[in-house]
Amino acid sequence: MAINPSKIRTCPTLNDILLVENTLKEYSIIAIDELSKKTNINISILKEILDYLENSNKIIISKKGISWIYNNNEKLQKIINEGFEL
């Protein structure tokens, strides 16, 4: 039984995800085709990575492009969780 190469599905690796994350952190906003060129990652794999990042609230995808929105600053998270009164 021969395997049809078009049926083989590749999955993103952790290195792919980290590369995309680090690239997105460098730019305020970037188009998907430009991101694909900068990371040298296949568009179909890149879309899977972007779905994961969007579902984990790390990026936002808009008409203008993709933006990194995740902030792991502990002080900011504390203020958000506890609220801040003026």
CA-to-CA dists, residue 12 to 9, 15, 72, angstroms: 10, 8, 23
| pLDDT score, position 85 | 63
> Does the residue 17 lie in any domain?
yes
pLDDT score recorded for residue 54: 96
Task: Give the pTM.
Answer: 0.76
Q: Could you read off the pLDDT tens digit of each residue along the chain, which spans 86 residues?
A: 565 655 566 889 999 999 999 999 999 899 999 999 999 999 999 999 999 999 999 999 999 999 999 887 787 777 777 876 65
- Supply the CATH number for residue 17's domain: 1.10.10.10
The whole domain housing 24 covers 13-82
6 falls within a domain = no
Query: Domains in the chain: how many in total?
Result: 1
Alpha-helical runs (H) found in 40-73: 43-55
Q: Quickly count: other Cβ atoms within 10 Å of residue 77's Cβ.
A: 11
Residue 20 lies in a domain: yes
The predicted structure's pLDDT at residue 25 = 93
pLDDT at 10: 80
Residue 8 lies in a domain: no
